[in-house]
Structure 1
């Protein structure tokens, strides 16, 4: 939208879709449509990372240059974990890298999937080592806990992961009780810096665990307990 002479865009927004606004269709002959399509058509966002084929997907980057810094922005909107894992295992996910000087680009990937760090299985998450090692940084959406400080990926893939988490508490789990932040990402050449910006207006959520067996003076065998 920032290149449209009929729109006045001060800060362009690039977005993939999540699992709550994934493209749907009403009939066999209808075209799948996401809420992001409406926002993109209105010129409000730059929607990318849509996978239209159920058997394979080509992930093509948005290429952005500023002085000597080159950014290849890859994205993949939310799809079923089982389907994505099946395509990754079959080699049906093709990463289209820049044709010239591919090694000079900073490769940033935006994904919205369950993050499998505990061997939950192909139906319940995507393994970090299933993503290619040429990536420099992955912004991992969908997970609610805020882990915005980049950490190295698990396995043989050598990239960093930043997990922004949800901006508000949406479920009653321990991770939601922690602080919420957004991040300011600065990129220069092949180097980057993520600066957390705490969200101070989030509705407080406190989660505590009470173990009755640890409470003094409480007889669990008593009818009054």
Structure 2
């Protein structure tokens, strides 16, 4: 089968004296590749280092960065105080730094339009400028089509949850998985990576309908006066 790479979310984050997550057990059984588990070191807000998983097939080189869930307020302070270090692959003559296609997977609240000053959300402007593709987890609404970020110059996709877990309008829309395909073409000494995405609609999701019903509108349709006894 295909290898599975996974970060933890906010419902299965590491806890306890040993800082263990449910994914640690699955990883120990060789069922998944658990990455993105960080240790916040130092005083006050602390400091975080994000290391990539380096994948290579032919000329295609992928640096897969992951960050499992950290409380949004704390992670926001880490970004604002520049206490997040992104560890880059070592550059060599054979593997130049710019040849790596950099993918970042995270599981955090995403800043919505009109709420840019909220402290319990992460703004895309905090992310590293060298990233090529960001997969944003935690948000339930499925928005699989990548959107270009003018702030950091990369594409951001939000696949959404695979099942409806809350009674909101976003949960009533179609659910998707996202297939990301890429290939790197070597031209002389330079390597150009091309990629495409394909949203795959999930066909076994429990149906869920969402609608707003206004009592005033219903009364008007029936010709009733709410002021009458």
Task: Work out whether the TM-score is over 0.5.
Answer: yes
Q: Find out whether 1:131 has 2:127 as its counterpart.
A: yes
Alignment partner, residue 211 of structure 1:
214
What is the count of residue pairs matched by the alignment? 209
Alignment partner, residue 60 of structure 1:
51
Q: 1:53-81, CA deviations, whole angstroms, 9 ceiling, x for partnerless residues?
A: 25111111000111111100000000001
Contact 1:85 1:122 in 2 (8 A): no
Alignment partner, residue 47 of structure 1:
34
Aligned-residue Cα RMSD (Å) equals 1.3
Q: What SS class does the counterpart of residue 126 from structure 1 fall into?
A: coil
Q: Find out whether 1:149 has 2:145 as its counterpart.
A: yes
Task: Give, in whole Å, the separation in 1 of the partners of 2:157 and 2:228.
Answer: 50
Alignment partner, residue 187 of structure 2:
none
Task: Give, in whole Å, the separation in 2 of the partners of 1:32 and 1:65.
Answer: 31
Structure 1 unaligned regions, length at least 5: 1-9
Contact 1:63 1:72 in 2 (8 A): yes
Q: What SS class does the counterpart of residue 219 from structure 1 fall into?
A: coil
Alignment partner, residue 5 of structure 1:
none
Q: CA deviation at 1:21?
A: 0.5
Task: Give, in whole Å, the separation in 2 of the partners of 1:182 and 1:219.
Answer: 49
Q: 1:121-172, CA deviations, whole angstroms, 9 ceiling, x for partnerless residues?
A: 453210011111211111000000000111112x521111111111110000
Q: CA deviation at 1:34?
A: 0.3
Alignment partner, residue 89 of structure 1:
80
Task: Give, in whole Å, the separation in 1 of the partners of 2:106 and 2:40.
Answer: 17
Task: Give, in whole Å, the separation in 2 of the partners of 1:36 and 1:172.
Answer: 28
Task: Give, in whole Å, the separation in 2 of the partners of 1:222 and 1:179.
Answer: 43
The counterpart of 1:184, out of the listed 172, 179, 185, is: 179
| 1:222–1:192 Cα change, 3 Å | farther
Q: CA deviation at 1:120?
A: 5.1
Contact 1:113 1:143 in 2 (8 A): yes
Task: Give, in whole Å, the separation in 2 of the partners of 1:156 and 1:120.
Answer: 14
Q: What SS class does the counterpart of residue 73 from structure 2 fall into?
A: helix
Task: Give, in whole Å, the separation in 1 of the partners of 2:10 and 2:73.
Answer: 14
Q: What SS class does the counterpart of residue 116 from structure 1 fall into?
A: coil
Contact 2:135 2:156 in 1 (8 A): yes
